[in-house]
């Protein structure tokens, strides 16, 4: 792994990405966060830790994931050369397992016997329950009751994997509320419990640590594209919820000034506050759940409601490193609407035989949107963060019986 200082984008030793990030937490959480930071610094210097993680990524999750040329999508859009980085091919169907495997190894190394996590759509809850089963650890997943209702199948999966799903009946009964409850549990049970946070969010060291675990995506992609095309890509595209799949792809390319990068947020139903989750077009700087970043909030600082057809992108804050990269203009951030994402969901299914997660469909939709303006023969890589099996019920309710029409 790279050290913090030999790559652009820091963070410094207090977890700042420029002005963003940091550790805005109650006193009781300071010690566990410092302990975790020490353990991670120690682990990343330990070759046996990296070797064990590499082995699990390969033999359990199925890495390296393929880099697939999307020929029919190329013909459809004209001009450019398109590759898909297939994180959907991972065990449990998305990139989340990369981080979950890294953190469960860390938890065991710290002598913890119990893991907790938050989940919105349930994908991170399933990844956490999976690695907890693999390591024989006790596992509790906090989930808003509204999300439990919408994602009943993932609740069943987590229980099947041996996890306890704890309903959270506070606030909007969604992800933000589940994170609050998980933090409360952590404070009380930190002696035997690791909090396995699911994205590049929260207080230091999480945004940095999760980025390091997800950077396997970009490192692999770099090798694969050099191998196939003998050159670096012109453009990288990834969807941005908390920002972990995007930073995982982007980070190993940040020093390559010629590689353009675009993070795609959820434009939802429109630009009014509450109708989307596009933090970089409607958000302002503030603190949420331990970190300083762009946040969707009302004038008085009250956290705004959000909406996206895709649950994994539906959160009021974005990871602090993205805020830094946004202000530095190293990465561009755009958004596409629910309808554009749904159209891309169908398009990729029909043209490539790959049903993408609704989150990932946002990145595909951005490519569709900008294809006419791209240089001929531009080399483009889209991060397919996950597969769409989890979304077919929801999409069938929206599209009815004629999804091909
Ligand atoms: C959770 C999830 C996301 C959003 O999370 P990031 O941390 O922004 O990557 C995107 N795609 C899929 C498939 C997910 O499960």
C-alpha 241 – ligand 1 centre gap (Å): 6
Pick the range with the lowest mean pLDDT from 107-111, 157-161, 170-174, 228-232.
170-174
Rounded to an integer, the average pLDDT of 136-153 is: 93
What distances in angstroms separate CA 245 from CA 54, 88, 161, 273, 375, one per listed residue?
A: 18, 11, 24, 25, 26
**Where does residue 60 rank: exposed (0-12), middle (13-18), buried (19+ CB within 10 A)?**
middle
Around ligand 1, the residues with Cβ closer than 6 Å are 94, 96, 123, 199, 239-246, 312-313, 357, 359-360, 385-386
* pLDDT value, residue 8: 52
What distances in angstroms separate CA 314 from CA 147, 176, 213, 330, 396, one per listed residue?
A: 11, 10, 22, 24, 20
pTM for the whole structure: 0.96
Rounded to an integer, the average pLDDT of 207-219 is: 98
pLDDT tens per residue, range 214-230: 999 999 999 999 999 99
* pLDDT value, residue 301: 92
pLDDT tens per residue, range 249-305: 999 999 999 999 999 999 999 999 999 999 999 999 999 999 999 999 999 999 999
CB-based contact 259:292 (threshold 8 Å): no
Report which of 84, 79, 368, 83 is spatially closest to residue 229, judged by C-alpha positions: 83
Q: Take atom 15 of ligand 1 and give the residue whose Cα is closest.
A: 123
C-alpha 238 – ligand 1 centre gap (Å): 10
Q: Which residues contact 41 (CB under 8 A, 6 or more apart)?
A: none
pLDDT tens per residue, range 352-386: 999 999 999 999 999 999 999 999 999 999 999 99
CB-based contact 351:292 (threshold 8 Å): no
Pairing of strands 138-144, 164-168: parallel
Rounded to an integer, the average pLDDT of 196-223 is: 98
The pLDDT mean for the chain works out to 95
**Where does residue 138 rank: exposed (0-12), middle (13-18), buried (19+ CB within 10 A)?**
middle
* pLDDT value, residue 49: 98
Q: Which two tokens stand for residue 178?
A: 């589940």
CB-based contact 298:274 (threshold 8 Å): no
Q: Rounded distance, CA 281 to CA 120, Å?
A: 23
* pLDDT value, residue 6: 41
Q: Which two tokens stand for residue 310?
A: 């895709």
71 is catalytic: yes
C-alpha 359 – ligand 1 centre gap (Å): 6
* pLDDT value, residue 13: 82
Rounded to an integer, the average pLDDT of 8-16 is: 75
Q: Rounded distance, CA 399 to CA 342, Å?
A: 9
Q: Rounded distance, CA 322 to CA 333, Å?
A: 9
Distance spanning both ends of the chain, measured CA to CA: 47
* pLDDT value, residue 150: 82
pLDDT above 80 for 190 = yes
Rounded to an integer, the average pLDDT of 311-335 is: 97
**Where does residue 44 rank: exposed (0-12), middle (13-18), buried (19+ CB within 10 A)?**
buried
* pLDDT value, residue 3: 39
CB-based contact 90:62 (threshold 8 Å): yes
Three-state SS at 221: helix
C-alpha 341 – ligand 1 centre gap (Å): 14
Q: Take atom 3 of ligand 1 and give the residue whose Cα is closest.
A: 312
Which one of 95, 276, 326, 362 is the catalytic residue?
A: 95
Q: Which two tokens stand for residue 325?
A: 């990269």
Helices marked H in 85-144: 96-109, 123-135
- Quote the DSSP letter at residue 309: S
* pLDDT value, residue 361: 98
pLDDT above 60 for 405 = no
pLDDT tens per residue, range 68-116: 999 999 999 997 999 999 999 999 999 999 999 999 999 999 999 999 9
Report which of 362, 353, 346 is spatially closest to residue 70, judged by C-alpha positions: 353
């Amino acid at each position: 792994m790279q050290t913090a200082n030999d790559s652009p984008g820091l963070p410094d030793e207090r977890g700042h990405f420029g002005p963003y990030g940091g550790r805005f937490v109650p006193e009781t959480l300071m010690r566990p966060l410092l302990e975790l930071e020490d353990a991670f610094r120690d682990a990343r210097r330990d070759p046996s830790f990296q070797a064990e993680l590499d082995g699990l990524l390969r033999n359990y999750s199925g890495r390296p994931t393929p880099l697939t040329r999307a020929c029919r999508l190329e013909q459809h859009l004209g001009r450019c050369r398109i590759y898909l980085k297939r994180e959907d091919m991972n065990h449990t169907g998305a990139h989340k397992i990369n981080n979950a495997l890294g953190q469960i190894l860390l938890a065991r190394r710290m002598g913890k016997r119990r893991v907790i996590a938050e989940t919105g759509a349930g994908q991170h809850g399933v990844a956490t329950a999976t690695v907890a089963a693999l390591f024989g650890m006790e596992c509790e997943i906090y989930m808003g009751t509204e999300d439990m209702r919408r994602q009943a199948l993932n609740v069943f999966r987590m229980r099947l994997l041996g996890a306890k799903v704890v309903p959270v009946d506070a606030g909007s009964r969604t992800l933000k509320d589940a994170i609050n409850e998980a933090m409360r549990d952590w404070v009380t049970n930190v002696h035997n419990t690791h909090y396995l946070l699911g994205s590049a969010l929260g207080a230091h060291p999480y945004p940095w640590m999760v980025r390091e675990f997800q950077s396997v995506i970009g490192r692999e992609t770099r090798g694969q594209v050099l191998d196939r095309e003998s050159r670096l890509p012109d453009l990288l595209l990834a969807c941005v919820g908390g920002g972990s799949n995007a930073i995982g792809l982007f980070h190993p390319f940040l020093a390559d000034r010629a590689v353009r990068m675009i993070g795609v947020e959820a434009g939802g139903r429109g630009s009014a506050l509450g109708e989307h989750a596009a933090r970089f077009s409607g958000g302002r700087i503030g603190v949420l759940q331990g970190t300083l970043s762009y946040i969707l909030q009302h004038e008085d600082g009250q956290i705004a409601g959000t909406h996206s057809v895709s649950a994994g992108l539906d959160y009021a804050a974005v990871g602090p490193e993205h805020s830094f990269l946004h202000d530095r203009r190293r990465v561009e951030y755009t958004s596409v609407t629910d309808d554009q994402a749904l159209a891309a969901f169908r398009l990729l299914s029909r043209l490539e035989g790959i049903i993408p997660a609704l989150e990932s469909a946002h990145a595909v939709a951005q490519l569709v949107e900008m294809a006419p303006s791209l240089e001929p023969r531009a080399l483009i890589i889209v991060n397919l963060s996950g597969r769409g099996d989890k979304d077919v019920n929801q999409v069938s309710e929206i599209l009815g019986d004629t999804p091909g029409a």
